[in-house]
Amino acid sequence: MTSTHTLTHSYYSAFYAEKGYRFLEQIAQTHSMPRNLVVFSVMHCYEGSLPYLNVLCKLADHVIFIPKQATFCNNGTLLNTIQSIPNCDVVEPGFDKIALRDPVRCLDLIQQYTQEGQAFLILDHGGYFSQGVEAIFEAYDEQCVGIAELTANGIAKYRNRHLIKPLVSVAHLSIKTPADYEASECIVHYTDQILREAFGLKLNNLGFLTIGVIGSGNLGRGICKTLQGKGIHDIYVSDQDPRQLTALPRNGIQVCSTETMLEHCNLIFCCTGNGALHSAHIQSRRENLFIATVTSADDELNLPELVQQGTLQYVGGNKLVTEYQNRHGASIYLIAGGESANTPFKTGMGDPTLYLFEAAHLLAGLHLGSQSHSYAAGIQALSAQDEIFIAEQWLRYFYSYT
């Protein structure tokens, strides 16, 4: 791999970009991709994605970049920079998240960007290909080498699909935990910033805001910890699995059902990635409610259906807040339009934890692409040995670990 690459969109992003690129390049050098391989990569439209994308484009014959909708909407000009990377094509607008829910459109996408008999790999992020996966595997049995999925909510979307090819998950690796906690810290920070900018509110305005957290995985627990660091201690947490809640009361957190939370809270962080709030929760609300998510309003609220069935009516908003009203006239304010609350803002490359999960996603793709693996059909995790390898390389590279 040569050193010519496009790592930044603006001058001020350059501080850590080269370092992240070199680390991912180091991981990539452990395997080689087959010639003439096409990679379909679902990725955030962040400058922080550029080092990873550049490494992919050095490995594959062609990379088809499919921008995550939330960050694409806020960083559309970045697509010109991405388009300038050799071997990289930005997918046509007709192949977005909504379109790919149709298996026929998934097949159209594959057909448009691959030649007959050409092998391809899917690096998914959030289950974009989950509803078309069976059609893809059936139509392209010889060409598709497999799928690597980055997120837990993405894996949940693939869970009940009939998979005749391997799908490698990096969603629940221990090395992803630092990045999850970093993300939760960012989400709290930017929720606070948006509330200040749009409403003149602060998260720790006692008497104005009471906060609930739905989901007590890494992100939910990280949000609780960050809130407590801001002096907020009246926090309600719910989870579908009561086992996840048992450690929280000893940390001064009120555990409850989601219904109880809605009786007490007017700001809720949705941290499940898969239906935190249902139509009945929104429909029965009689007081205004702020909602921040760690994924999207599609995943956490099924927002398109709420609007289509008339449960919510769009009122207005901007890139910081979108307002809907339910049938009782209660306003439902979606922080960052219902996308992860840090999406309206620049994400820098100076947080090395970002490269841990990118390295895992990359390595899973390398295994699948090189076909030097023992993966069976269906969902499986990256191996413990691979995880240890990434952790050691990361510690050595960024922190002089010996």
pLDDT tens, 368-389? 998 767 899 999 999 999 999 9
Residues paired with residue 381 on neighbouring β-strands, in sequence order:
169
Intra-chain end-to-end CA distance of the chain, in Å: 27
pLDDT tens, 167-213? 999 999 999 999 999 999 999 999 999 999 999 999 998 889 999 99
**Equal CATH topology for 11-172+349-399 and 179-338:** yes
Q: Is the pLDDT of residue 120 over 50?
A: yes
- Residue recorded with tokens 């100076």: 350
Q: Is the pLDDT of residue 348 over 80?
A: no
Domain residue spans of the chain: 11-172+349-399, 179-338
**Average pLDDT of span 42-70:** 90
**Average pLDDT of span 275-280:** 92
- Within 10 Å of residue 368's Cβ, how many Cβ atoms? 24
Encoded tokens for 64: 């088809």
Amino acid occupying residue 188: V
What pLDDT was estimated at residue 72?
65
What pLDDT was estimated at residue 2?
40
**Average pLDDT of span 218-235:** 94
Homologous superfamily (CATH) for 11-172+349-399? Adenosylhomocysteinase-like (3.40.50.1480)
Ramachandran angles phi, psi of 123, nearest 5°? -105, 100
What distance in Å separates the CA atoms of residue 79 and residue 180, rounded to the nearest whole number? 26
Give 359's pLDDT tier (boundaries 50, 70, 90).
very high
- What would be the CATH architecture of the domain defined by 179-338? 3-Layer(aba) Sandwich (3.40)
Q: What percent of the chain has pLDDT over 90?
A: 76
Give 47's pLDDT tier (boundaries 50, 70, 90).
confident
Give 79's pLDDT tier (boundaries 50, 70, 90).
confident
What pLDDT was estimated at residue 13?
61
No. of helices (H) and no. of strands (E), the chain: 15, 15
Q: Could you tell me which of 196, 198, 212 has the C-alpha nearest to residue 333?
A: 198
What pLDDT was estimated at residue 307?
94
What pLDDT was estimated at residue 374?
83
Q: What percent of the chain has pLDDT over 70?
A: 94
Phi-psi region of 47 (alpha: psi -120 to 50; beta: other; left: phi over 0): alpha
